[in-house]
């Protein structure tokens, strides 16, 4: 199975996948429940990042187990959704953004598979943190289904689970970032270490604190996700339909940890 969807906040079911069944995957980092189904005759994995019913907060998601489980299943391309707050007044709730860069403001997460010793040490290049090819499939898919998307965007990942302060939001905006959320790091980082292509589809659910005229609530985030769920599914699956079987990434994602030589994979 080459393709996986990681569903973030508000995306808890595998959508249009058929013949869905649960698969339990054991990894060195813990067990993971993945749902596997078919789309246009191909097997696709679906993983709910926060577990069913949003039971796991962003700072406690077992990112290493999740990515390792997909890696063990043979996944090469990950499409991940993320609810985000907007840092820019002209980027509005209900807009989609295809992420192409991030700023890491997390500080207590396990962010690597390579902890030294037998696992080795590797310093992976993040000049292109998100896969440009998968982003292009999403852009083409957006055109196909008639959906406006911001074609690029910089994501600030905070530790959470609290929302940001207005001063933090002013700072992040002054850095040129566009959106803020709590889950892309270390997910996108680990995917690259595991030499998988990763695309981040951000759905703006609110203006960030201090820009928003009202105080933020999780209920507001969920409501906007729900309103836009159908559009998100259409975009996702139109993009998945464009990924050629057996594709090898021309952007080098599949060799991102090549410093490890022939191993080139997490231990």
* 163 binding ligand HPA? (CB under 6 A): yes
Part of the chain binding ligand HPA (CB under 6 A), chosen from 39-47, 80-88, 145-153, 257-265 = 80-88
In the complex, least distance from residue 204 CB atom to ligand HPA, rounded to whole angstroms: 8
* 80 binding ligand HPA? (CB under 6 A): no
- E-strand ranges in 63-191 read 77-86, 96-98, 101-105, 149-150, 154-158, 179-181
CB-side neighbour CA atoms (13 Å) of 53: 1
In the complex, least distance from residue 102 CB atom to ligand HPA, rounded to whole angstroms: 13
In the complex, least distance from residue 85 CB atom to ligand HPA, rounded to whole angstroms: 2
Within a 10 A sphere around the Cβ of 95, how many other Cβ atoms?
20
Burial of 56 (0-12, 13-18, 19+ CB in 10 A): middle
> What SS3 state is found at 142?
helix
Window 83-122: residues binding ligand HPA (CB under 6 A): 83-85
| Cα 266 from chain centre | 19
Q: Which residue in 36, 97, 180, 238 binds ligand HPA (CB under 6 A)?
A: 180
Part of the chain binding ligand HPA (CB under 6 A), chosen from 22-30, 38-46, 177-185, 248-256 = 177-185
* 164 binding ligand HPA? (CB under 6 A): yes
Q: Which residue in 206, 233, 235, 243 binds ligand HPA (CB under 6 A)?
A: 206
Within a 10 A sphere around the Cβ of 74, how many other Cβ atoms?
12
Tell me the site size for ligand HPA, rule CB under 6 A: 13
């Amino acid at each position: 199975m080459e393709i996986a969807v990681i569903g973030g906040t508000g995306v808890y079911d595998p959508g249009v996948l058929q013949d869905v069944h649960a698969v339990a995957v054991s990894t060195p980092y813990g067990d993971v429940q993945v749902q596997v189904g078919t789309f246009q005759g191909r097997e696709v994995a679906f993983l709910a990042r926060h577990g069913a019913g949003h039971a796991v907060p962003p700072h406690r998601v077992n990112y290493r187990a999740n990515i390792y489980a997909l890696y063990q299943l043979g996944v090469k391309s990950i499409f991940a959704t993320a609810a985000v707050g907007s840092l820019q007044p002209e980027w509005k709730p209900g807009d989609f953004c295809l992420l192409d860069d991030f700023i890491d403001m997390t500080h207590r997460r396990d962010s690597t598979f390579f902890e030294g010793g037998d696992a080795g040490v590797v310093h992976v290049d993040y000049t292109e943190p998100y896969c440009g090819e998968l982003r292009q499939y999403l852009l083409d898919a957006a055109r196909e289904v008639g959906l406006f998307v911001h074609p690029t965007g910089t994501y600030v990942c905070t530790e959470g689970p609290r929302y940001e302060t207005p001063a933090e939001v002013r700072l992040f905006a002054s850095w040129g970032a566009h959106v803020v959320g709590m889950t892309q790091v270390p997910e996108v980082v680990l995917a690259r270490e595991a030499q998988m292509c990763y695309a981040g589809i951000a759905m703006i659910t609110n203006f960030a604190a201090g820009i928003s005229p009202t105080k933020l609530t999780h209920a507001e985030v969920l409501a906007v996700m729900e309103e836009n769920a159908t559009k998100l599914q259409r975009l996702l699956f139109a993009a998945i339909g464009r990924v050629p079987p057996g594709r090898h990434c021309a952007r080098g994602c599949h060799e991102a940890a090549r410093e490890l030589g022939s191993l080139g994979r997490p231990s």
